[in-house]
Structure 1
């Protein structure tokens, strides 16, 4: 597949060299008629561009006579203009003011483009990728569009079935900061306990934000703790909401999976459909309110496959059923000259049904009189997510001032259906309210900046402060969901035992931060950025982080960039205080596990230390090259070292000499904890993006090759003195493999996007590198068949490299109506099969690589009025 794709890339680029183009030339001046040297002129929708010379003159070959040019220069407003068949195009740029700024994450300068920053920034046009991809939610859209971004749907993973964990560059979900319109977004209240990604981490629920409300997503692939907040270790994702007015956009999508590996005769399953509408209304002069409504429904898939020689361990294994509804808005109103008030936010409500492990009819946990054929417990959820930001910004004596407040809230409420409490016997209810948890966050933020055009070649000074409060709660379920009515049997609702009064907590903390950021174009070719940030947590004390970045333009065709920085992440409130008793399955057998927080009696008995902060060191260096018109190449290498990494420990058993009797008294077989178990994780990687735009025949071909290569090393295990010698339990090889599986060691995306008049085609291949996980055989001493101690090959599940191929065809009937037809994973690729009773999830594969649902066929109708 890779050889074919590269051959096509070479062929298409060769054709493009001979394609006819249209010549455009002109000048770029400021308001006084002074030439702007080094201004950027780019053909919209391509990477084809030019830079003005010493007289402000540019020359450019574009693909069409109606091409649109985008002109930018630091400190000036952007101009976007269709050339309308005219070969001479002159531009006059005005001074940038706050009311016309272009925000790009990674720089606090008002009009710095993503190509000019000292750190790599991906800018994803959501309208483009939603038109040409089958994925419907933000996580899956980015999973197949950005190689350094990874998100997999989990199954059999309790709450993680309902909130997809996501990460950048293989680091934890909680080590990436998410912003909306440049303002901090709250995290989910969920802490991930199972699955191959995000284990032991909290993260931000990107799927709570409808893709239809988003104009673009900016991804800063670099440590940015000094710029945006101490937890931005892996990078920053900035979601920019739509501002367009006087246009109604409506989209209807549907799709279904080809049902391979089901344990019945169904051919298709997992019906997905969604409908969304977006409309913007103009208010006063340059004011607006933009509103989006979105509804998405997803049915169960079932891939409960097992090997012929092994008994089935789950009758249901696959995507959970999900209903997701959102209402979002983005608004701005000018109130005085140079002053505007703004607000944005929204609500999201999600209901999910996920299958837990099967209790077969002869299972000790089943009551045949209630379930003659056994039962498949359903973990249901109701997730409420809401946020709102309000602020005022303006210009005072050439200083741009932005004052805002953001409140965010996430509540996760569990219900368990088709289940029973075995200790209640035949009188047990079959549905339970299992309780849940919630997180509230309030952020007050002040940003002040000023751009000096006459100092050096441009100097931007920014500083500000932020005050954040957070509150985390666990609330109990109904009594039958957790209570033990007969000590001879396990307590609580099966599938997910409810939270008891002993689990209930209500904890908060506050954080104060202040930053300064100086960005200077020392010469026309050299940009330097220096940032520093002070933060104080009420529960973890103070930290100071810094960053130095630089970009040097060797010529209009070649530039170097790099940065070094430090970071700091305080453990989330969920990691500090979450506690629960849940059911795990080891070799297909149910085991009751206590997850105790660090203040518990069990943790103190074992000498588990209090959690402390993670610290990081980041470095990156890269090169950007434009060797020919329409072709660009960026290569960025990176290094991230995180010390005292917070993870989940392995599980201590009730046979342990120190706490065995205590665990038995609590009616649990195993216990685990959150702790700074790893002395460090060190990640080395490289991002490569090559893009080419050119004419091919009667149309235009855009070709992109994007790759992420990633390697992680794990440090020593940090144990307490009381646990010396128990490192293999504290953080064993199995748990280490889960950390390493946060991202495949390589992910390559090759995309061909061809447009001819009203018809467009998108062909994409995504190659996922090999993943290794350790299965449940690792904990066993001997193979029951041979009597010989297990070898590494018997407890390592290897998921070999796989390629997913996608194809989409889009046709615009008119400017107002379009239709897309296509398929994702057309070759029906799956991860390698393994023994279900030995995997973490109970399926024939863990949630790795491209997922485990197979081919997906979809259609999309789009309307604009």
Structure 2
């Protein structure tokens, strides 16, 4: 593998330069904390001493002077296990960046904030998107300046934290230290677009013996466009305006009693470009356009009005020597679509046929969807220093209530005004609105109990075991377990390994998302439907009720820390997932005649749906290495991290009614979206040199090869390995003020050029590996007071 061939060179650089960690892999900023993956609240130790692989990224330098202005892109270039690529031409997926670990789905990574479960978004990734058929957590809804550190647990942890923790867990730890600081930043692409403005302020104030931290952030990211001159389309970043505020506090009450809270809100106005429609002389008139409205063609814009809210309120105490934590968490995400610079071609055509000019409204409310989650936790733990050399026993319970709804758009966003097949297509161009038949309001609840025991029978041996039982109101119960062991070989070497079972409950979004539009099939007006589970359509197709995905996780590795300035970790892993939920292809009378007849009897021409139909196996290797030393009059730091991963579909098990039609259920193209959702290899090699008031940084980010399926069966899109470089320079002008400038992808590297007729976005550069925008430059000022 190409990235493996880079490893000897990188390690040689570490040895020759005697360098130091550019990233805060050490937990030095943490005092008495619980690092994700363990429930012990003891003085934090190095990431080389954890039972399972945990990366700890201190976010201070990133927030103060980094080249990325949001959390998802910051982690994309810090953590090789983490993948988040901005999409273009992917409808709603353009508005919210999906993120995932180890090449698995975004809904197979659990995200916590201060150790508490964070809600997912309401959006289901569907068209032209990676992680299609899944939903995930919006990492960019939290301001960077509010974050102290991000802990990435690279191991399955469903037995500890519940559903979604198959690929791993990301815990975002918020700051609550006294003092104030502010950041102002500007960036843009070398092409001159994508202008990015950022202002953010943090202030932690002493209040009632505790600290209340308040962070406010405003970000305005402009649209970018890489389409060729003369091309109507807009290919590039979505335009985004974020207004965010977050509070984080902890207050002692009496004795061991503490009250803590988190409250956050973000309003996002985002706008992405849909596919361009042709003007006069094209086939798009009158089916998709009106000569009276857009004679030169037009690009519809999908505007998302996103409202995200998050609250944690908790009480920590001590009862008979046991630490107790009672908390209530609530999160909600709501997105409303407004389609602008558009038309309903059927309305325009009806107007034309009636003697008018051929006019339609140019903007439509296309409807909305929302998701909310309320979680109640009771956690109890105690450390027994004399039991088996030191034991931490923890147990607890969780109750979670989830709600999901879809609201129909205004009639003009979906109706076929001139009659099906009469010339003008139904609905708003760019995104047809949700119809009344799509509207839904659903909910479910779950209850869980867990037990966790971590002990050190000898000074060298540590053992951890966890078991969790969970019951869902809509599909039943599941039990998961985990066993982890570490053994010290002297002071420098630690062997570690873990085995666990896990699960992921089907999301309400996968269970109940519905989208309908009308098409003219075999001269008959029929609906094309993404049908929810349990509907008349899925029942007619013999699709069983969705059930949980189940996993088995295995990790084995070692850490090496010969001194305070050198650290190395290596971990192998395997993740087997059974009954993975996928979005099917479209079934109709051309690819499944018997089912097509049944569907047409229901007024449906084509249908697709979610189904538990594949097993996958993911194998990989994670390596990290860091060293630090004096060099000349300054200090040199180096950090290397490498992830190699490979996912394969190991089995296909279609429902009995769909046997023999596996190629429709999961085409080669869709299979590759699962197997190669991210690059096979990803590596980061960073150097930082500090002397006096100046700090310079250089970082190489290597993205391995990736293969995607083309629209033409039998053709493949091969993306060659690519390496980009980021450069940065910081000047500490005074103890309180510093300035940072730099560039990302300074050599303007882009993905492998492809046939635009075969790519997802219809452009010769697709949004894979690291995006298609090219080089960018930035400047920041940070002031602490």
Q: CA-atom RMSD, angstroms? A: 2.3
Mark the CA change 1:863 to 1:672 in structure 2 (over 3 Å): closer, same or farther.
Answer: same
**CA contact 1:497–1:583 (8 Å) conserved in 2:** no
Q: Is residue 107 of structure 1 aligned with residue 38 of structure 2?
A: yes
Q: How far does residue 160 in structure 1 lie from its aligned partner after superposition?
A: 0.5
Mark the CA change 1:620 to 1:16 in structure 2 (over 3 Å): closer, same or farther.
Answer: closer
User: What's the counterpart of residue 89 of structure 1?
Assistant: none
Taking the aligned partners of 1:152 and 1:731, their CA distance within structure 2 comes to 23
Q: How far does residue 630 in structure 1 lie from its aligned partner after superposition?
A: 1.7
Q: In structure 2, which of residues 297, 303, 324 is the aligned counterpart of residue 380 of structure 1?
A: 303
Mark the CA change 1:703 to 1:391 in structure 2 (over 3 Å): closer, same or farther.
Answer: same
**CA contact 1:481–1:497 (8 Å) conserved in 2:** yes
User: What's the counterpart of residue 234 of structure 2?
Assistant: 316
**CA contact 1:196–1:742 (8 Å) conserved in 2:** no
Q: How far does residue 667 in structure 1 lie from its aligned partner after superposition?
A: 8.1
Q: Is residue 158 of structure 1 aligned with residue 91 of structure 2?
A: yes
**CA contact 2:573–2:619 (8 Å) conserved in 1:** yes
User: What's the counterpart of residue 565 of structure 1?
Assistant: 500
User: What's the counterpart of residue 144 of structure 1?
Assistant: 77
Mark the CA change 1:280 to 1:717 in structure 2 (over 3 Å): closer, same or farther.
Answer: same
Taking the aligned partners of 1:47 and 1:571, their CA distance within structure 2 comes to 34
What does residue range 107-146 of structure 1 map to in structure 2 within 5 Å?
Answer: 107-111=38-42, 112-113=44-45, 114-146=47-79
Q: Would you say how many aligned residue pairs link Structure 1 and Structure 2?
A: 757
Q: How far does residue 564 in structure 1 lie from its aligned partner after superposition?
A: 0.3
Taking the aligned partners of 2:640 and 2:57, their CA distance within structure 1 comes to 15
Structure 2: segments with no counterpart, 5+ residues: 349-357, 520-525
Q: Is residue 234 of structure 1 aligned with residue 147 of structure 2?
A: no
Taking the aligned partners of 2:756 and 2:518, their CA distance within structure 1 comes to 17
Q: Is residue 855 of structure 1 aligned with residue 778 of structure 2?
A: no
Q: In structure 2, which of residues 630, 651, 657 is the aligned counterpart of residue 695 of structure 1?
A: 630
Mark the CA change 1:575 to 1:46 in structure 2 (over 3 Å): closer, same or farther.
Answer: closer
Taking the aligned partners of 1:827 and 1:665, their CA distance within structure 2 comes to 58
**CA contact 1:823–1:857 (8 Å) conserved in 2:** yes
Taking the aligned partners of 1:332 and 1:829, their CA distance within structure 2 comes to 46
Q: Secondary structure at the match of 2:33?
A: coil
Q: Secondary structure at the match of 2:387?
A: coil
Q: Secondary structure at the match of 1:427?
A: coil
User: What's the counterpart of residue 365 of structure 1?
Assistant: 288
Structure 1: segments with no counterpart, 5+ residues: 20-42, 49-68, 73-77, 79-100, 260-267, 585-590, 779-791
User: What's the counterpart of residue 541 of structure 1?
Assistant: 476
TM-score by length of 2: 0.93
Mark the CA change 1:719 to 1:751 in structure 2 (over 3 Å): closer, same or farther.
Answer: same
What does residue range 79-94 of structure 1 map to in structure 2 within 5 Å?
Answer: none
Q: How far does residue 458 in structure 1 lie from its aligned partner after superposition?
A: 1.1
Q: How far does residue 70 in structure 1 lie from its aligned partner after superposition?
A: 5.6
Q: Is residue 676 of structure 1 aligned with residue 608 of structure 2?
A: no
Q: How far does residue 814 in structure 1 lie from its aligned partner after superposition?
A: 0.4
**CA contact 2:193–2:223 (8 Å) conserved in 1:** yes
What does residue range 430-509 of structure 1 map to in structure 2 within 5 Å?
Answer: 430-485=362-417, 486-487=419-420, 488=422, 489-509=424-444
Q: How far does residue 715 in structure 1 lie from its aligned partner after superposition?
A: 2.2
Taking the aligned partners of 1:664 and 1:161, their CA distance within structure 2 comes to 33
**CA contact 1:751–1:762 (8 Å) conserved in 2:** yes
User: What's the counterpart of residue 194 of structure 2?
Assistant: 270
Q: How far does residue 5 in structure 1 lie from its aligned partner after superposition?
A: 9.6
What does residue range 460-859 of structure 1 map to in structure 2 within 5 Å?
Answer: 460-485=392-417, 486-487=419-420, 488=422, 489-581=424-516, 593-628=528-563, 630-653=565-588, 655=590, 656-660=592-596, 670-678=606-614, 680-778=615-713, 792=714, 795-859=715-779
Q: How far does residue 599 in structure 1 lie from its aligned partner after superposition?
A: 2.4
**CA contact 1:47–1:630 (8 Å) conserved in 2:** no
Deviations 1:155-185 (A, max 9, x none): 1111100111111111111111111111110
Of 467-476 and 391-400, deviating more is 391-400
Mark the CA change 1:576 to 1:4 in structure 2 (over 3 Å): closer, same or farther.
Answer: closer
**CA contact 1:528–1:548 (8 Å) conserved in 2:** yes
Deviations 1:29-59 (A, max 9, x none): xxxxxxxxxxxxxx998779xxxxxxxxxxx
Deviations 1:674-705 (A, max 9, x none): 11121x10000010001111111111111111
TM-score by length of 1: 0.84
Deviations 1:540-586 (A, max 9, x none): 111110000011011101110110000111100000000103699xx
Mark the CA change 1:368 to 1:828 in structure 2 (over 3 Å): closer, same or farther.
Answer: same
User: What's the counterpart of residue 283 of structure 1?
Assistant: 207
Q: Secondary structure at the match of 2:651?
A: coil
Q: How far does residue 436 in structure 1 lie from its aligned partner after superposition?
A: 1.3
Mark the CA change 1:572 to 1:12 in structure 2 (over 3 Å): closer, same or farther.
Answer: closer
Mark the CA change 1:840 to 1:670 in structure 2 (over 3 Å): closer, same or farther.
Answer: farther
Mark the CA change 1:402 to 1:8 in structure 2 (over 3 Å): closer, same or farther.
Answer: closer
